[in-house]
């Protein structure tokens, strides 16, 4: 009996900790949803007895635009990157576009910055959305019986 307990304890001690996303389903939802939102996908969820909820791509764009506008108001768009971004997009210069996007957002990795902004927008909804996913999984499991 003691040997069996020792083996069990050794197996338990040898386990790796759960991945962060497994340990925190809200963070996993935030990361996945932010990535989708930045790519233009509306984020939708519905609690069992609640109304459908949605954070639209349009709402995200408005939120992001507000941040970018404030950076201009604060004098942080030193290279007139809005104008340069517009011109590079109509002239087809994608490499210039990334540089101007980085200047506009004030970060060397504009995609990551855009995702962090999306996470900030989505954060108040994370617990509710994760609960909705859990309810949907329970409903699916009940339907399989």
For residue 47, is it within any domain?
yes
For residue 70, is it within any domain?
yes
Q: Give the integer Cα–Cα distance in Å for 65 and 59.
A: 10
According to the model, what pLDDT value does residue 21 have? 45
Instruction: For residue 60, give its domain range.
Output: 24-143
Residues in the chain: 145
For residue 126, is it within any domain?
yes
For residue 18, is it within any domain?
no
Q: How many CA atoms lie within 13 A of 48 on its CB side?
A: 8
Q: Are 125 and 37 in contact (CB under 8 A)?
A: no
Q: Give the integer Cα–Cα distance in Å for 28 and 23.
A: 9
Q: Are 88 and 100 in contact (CB under 8 A)?
A: yes
For residue 115, is it within any domain?
yes
Number of domains in the chain: 1
Low-confidence ranges of the chain (pLDDT < 70): 1-12, 14-23, 143-145
Q: pTM (2 decimals)?
A: 0.77
For residue 11, is it within any domain?
no
């Amino acid at each position: 009996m003691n040997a069996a307990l020792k083996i069990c304890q050794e197996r338990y001690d040898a386990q790796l900790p759960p991945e962060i996303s497994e340990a925190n389903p809200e963070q996993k939802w935030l990361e996945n949803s932010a990535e989708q939102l930045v790519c233009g996908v509306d984020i939708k969820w519905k609690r069992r007895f609640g109304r459908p909820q949605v954070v639209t791509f349009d709402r995200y764009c408005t939120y992001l635009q507000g941040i970018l506008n404030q950076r201009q108001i604060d004098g942080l768009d030193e290279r007139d990157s809005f104008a340069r971004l517009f011109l590079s997009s109509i002239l087809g210069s994608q490499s210039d576009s990334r540089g101007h996007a980085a200047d506009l957002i004030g970060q060397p990795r504009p995609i990551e910055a855009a995702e962090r902004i999306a996470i900030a927008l989505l954060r108040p909804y994370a617990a509710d959305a994760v609960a909705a996913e859990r309810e949907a999984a329970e409903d699916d499991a009940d339907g399989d019986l």
